[in-house]
Amino acid sequence: MKLIVGLGNPGEKYARNRHNVGFMAVQTIAKEHGFPAFKRRFQGVASDGEIAGEKCLLLMPTTYMNDSGRSVGEAARFLKLSTSDLIVIHDEIDLAPAKLKVKTGGGVAGHNGLRSITQHLDNDYVRVRIGVGHPGSKDAVHHYVLGDFHKSEVSWLDPMLAAMAKAAGHLVKAEADKFMSEVALLLQPESERKAKRAPPEPAAPKQDPAKPHPGGEGQAKRAGAMADTLRKWLAGRGKGGI
């Protein structure tokens, strides 16, 4: 079984915050794969279902971001899961907007949600990092991540979340490279995807210069006969003929 956690803060006022992109991703996955409605469990809201034949629990902690580990730790211990079965989806200010990275373990890079999970479990879980960009100043980070995505960002955000949901089967099978490749493919314009899927046109057969073109022998004979007729006609005129 896999435990897929989206990080964010509960409540309508946080719903479209950059910090809540993990919640958005989990909700999109649930819709794509037909999970039932979320119910209160493990100090959060959760939903059970299957992705690519693998049993999964989708979890959104309602403990607020800085205390996410309480919810995730409770769920992991109850389900008797190791951190290798844990996938955490979160915002990443150190990645440019619309960039996506997957890694296992490593530092928490100042992300309080990851720090809390690591404190309650250990560090070797999969992180799906959705780039939201950096405001440019450390002092502006708090206000920035708790701000809503701009309307201009929706053009990349919604398609990326949809592509991640469609490719989630690779994620639960620990196929990070295939997950990334499928997301990238799904985000390409439809015209480019069709061009890649279309079989190449067969090349025209090369003509051996040493061999006559099909039908060339007959054409040569007809041309020769016409030339003979012309010569005879001209010869007849020279003798006072026709």
* DSSP H or E run through 218: helix 216-238
List of residues 6+ apart from 161 with CB closer than 8 A: 21, 24, 25, 28
CB 113 within 8 A of CB 128: no
Distances (CA, A) of 157 to 70, 122, 161: 29, 30, 6
Does residue 111 carry a catalytic annotation?
A: no
Instruction: Report DSSP letters for 43-95, one per residue.
Output: TEEEEEEEETTEEEEEEEE-S-GGGHHHHHHHHHHHTT--GGGEEEEEEETTS
d(CA 71, CA 45): 10
* Angle of the 112-120 helix axis to the 68-78 helix axis, nearest 10: 40
Q: Which of 19, 33, 90, 111 is catalytic?
A: 19
| φ, ψ at 41 (rounded to 5°) | -155, 150
CB 145 within 8 A of CB 19: yes
d(CA 69, CA 114): 8
What are the residue numbers of the active site? Answer: 19
